[in-house]
Structure 1
Amino acid sequence: MADEVKLLGSCKSPFSRRVEIALKLKGASFELSDLDVFFSKPPELLQHNPVHKKIPVLLHRGKAIAESLVILEYVDEVWSSSGIRLLPEDAYERAMARFWAKFFDDKCIQPLWMSCWTKGDMQKHLLEESKLHLTTMEGALKDKKFFGGEEIGLVDIVVLCSVYWAQIAQDVFKVDVISEEKHPILCRWMKEITNSDVLKDCLPPRDELFLVFQTNKDDIAALMTARYGSN
């Protein structure tokens, strides 16, 4: 069908979950192709994203769109009259949302995630870097209910998925990456947004993700060390 929507993603991926949330908030019907991509690259993924070879990939009207931030803007534009707006109508506010979403992806995700999987001096350095950048994100959130103001928007979806995943990973490895002492504003926001009527049912069960990380923690840690180096 011309309007068929299919998402190549994974229930284990926070980047894939961003797009799932956006589509659900828009009320868009879609098929999720749940791919195992952590240790391999399925042919379907290579066919539709030969450049980066990563999920998520959105297939819509026979065309493929890659990269989660790009997909989120595409979803907001295509389904502009449905559900909530992910980006503000005001041009300046829209630019700021794009800025903070990109800042989070460029500066926060790697140290946040790698803090959970590394050890020793490397972990210490990553914890310091993660705290610095997350504190900067808190500055954008200060005195606001959500990053989008009174309404949930693109930045909230972007930050939520990665922080939710990291909070579970830190419990598996017993690392203090995110805590109320370090990040009171972010933790307050997490409680607000995960209990909101809009998003409370859009995240995977915590115990399921915990089991995935617990079961595969040695393999994931080895892969992270091989990819980013050891101390």
Structure 2
Amino acid sequence: MAAGAAGGGSDELKLLGVWVSPFVHRVQVALHLKGLTGYEYAEEDLTNKSDLLLASNPVHTKVPVLLHAGKPVCESMLIVQYLDEAFPGSGPALLPADPHDRAVARFWAAYADDQFFASWIKAFVGTTDEERAAATEAAVAALQKMEGAFGECSKGKAFFGGDGPGYVDIALGGFVAWIRAFHAVASVNLLDAARTPLLAAWAERFAALDAAKEVIPDVDRIAEFAKHDLLPLLQKLHPKN
């Protein structure tokens, strides 16, 4: 996983991230899709946050943060939108040109966070088998909704964005490696081809993209982190009173 060679205008870009974060992966994939591969990457320690991170994102103090000529942009999908608007001549457009299609893309990207991820994270941190099972069921239900969205947005093509990956692909695609790691750790396949055949096939195509392979860590490495480090980190970052 490397920042790569120089890309147009990317020498003024610096990304603050954590190697295992799916939200950081979103930004990295977007940077590579846009051809902005010369950015500087700075790994953060979330248990000992840098002064730069605290100053750049004082409200949430979390990654990712993109610095463009020293000016910070926070929140993964806001960063993706920013890259699309700030570098219109670099790489493909990530958001649709049609205003309605753009609104639909933003809706489903938000749904991936607000419904799928919000449910799924509880499957990791739930304190009982019942809580974890209910969270997994809710995450599956959210993916089934996104299965329908794929048919609507893709118009029969390979990606939510059509012939090539776009905004919703990046939003959900950032989770693909983690979904596979969850399968390895918990023996639960959220992207079951029998249940969500369109999304299961889409996930294979997304993972095969050069932009994804260049920046997203191996599933086995993420699975090891999930087994040994995720829960202690979450407990340290969000201690119970």
Q: Return the TM-score normalized by structure 2.
A: 0.84
Of residues 35, 59, 71, the one that matches 2:67 is 59
Q: Match of 2:65, as an amino acid?
A: V
Of residues 32, 35, 50, the one that matches 2:44 is 35
Distance 1:156 1:86 in 2: 9
Query: Which residue in the other structure is 1:214 paired with?
Result: 227
Of residues 188, 208, 226, the one that matches 2:201 is 188
Of residues 68, 71, 88, the one that matches 2:76 is 68
Aligned residues: 227
Distance 2:190 2:124 in 1: 7
1:109 aligns with 2:117: yes
Gaps of at least 5 residues in structure 2 are: 1-8
Structure 1 stretch displaced more, 7-16 or 179-188:
179-188
Of residues 130, 136, 147, the one that matches 2:145 is 136
Report the 3-state secondary structure (helix = DSSP H, G, I; strand = E; otherwise coil) of the residue aligned with 2:14.
strand
Whether contact under 8 Å (2:124, 2:231) holds in the other structure is no
Distance 1:194 1:176 in 2: 16
Shift of 1:214: 2.7
- Note closer, same or farther for the CA distance 1:182–1:36 as it changes in structure 2 (3 Å cut): farther
Q: Match of 1:150, as an amino acid?
A: D
Distance 2:209 2:49 in 1: 35
Query: Which residue in the other structure is 1:99 paired with?
Result: 107
Shift of 1:52: 1.0
Q: Match of 1:132, as an amino acid?
A: A
Query: Which residue in the other structure is 2:159 paired with?
Result: 146
Query: Which residue in the other structure is 2:4 paired with?
Result: none
Shift of 1:179: 2.4
Paired-residue identity, %: 35
- Note closer, same or farther for the CA distance 1:50–1:89 as it changes in structure 2 (3 Å cut): same
Whether contact under 8 Å (2:17, 2:44) holds in the other structure is yes
Trace 1:8-23 onto structure 2 (pairs within 5 A): 8-23=16-31
Q: Match of 1:120, as an amino acid?
A: D
Q: Match of 1:174, as an amino acid?
A: S
Deviations along 1:157-187, whole A, 9 cap, x unmatched? Answer: 1101113213203322333444223322211
Report the 3-state secondary structure (helix = DSSP H, G, I; strand = E; otherwise coil) of the residue aligned with 2:229.
helix
Structure 1 stretch displaced more, 156-165 or 66-75:
156-165
Whether contact under 8 Å (2:10, 2:39) holds in the other structure is no
Shift of 1:89: 1.3
CA RMSD of aligned residues (A): 2.5
Distance 1:220 1:110 in 2: 18
Q: Return the TM-score normalized by structure 1.
A: 0.87
Distance 1:10 1:202 in 2: 12
Trace 1:151-230 onto structure 2 (pairs within 5 A): 151-220=164-233, 222=235
Shift of 1:218: 4.8
Whether contact under 8 Å (1:116, 1:166) holds in the other structure is no
Report the 3-state secondary structure (helix = DSSP H, G, I; strand = E; otherwise coil) of the residue aligned with 1:87.
coil
Gaps of at least 5 residues in structure 1 are: none
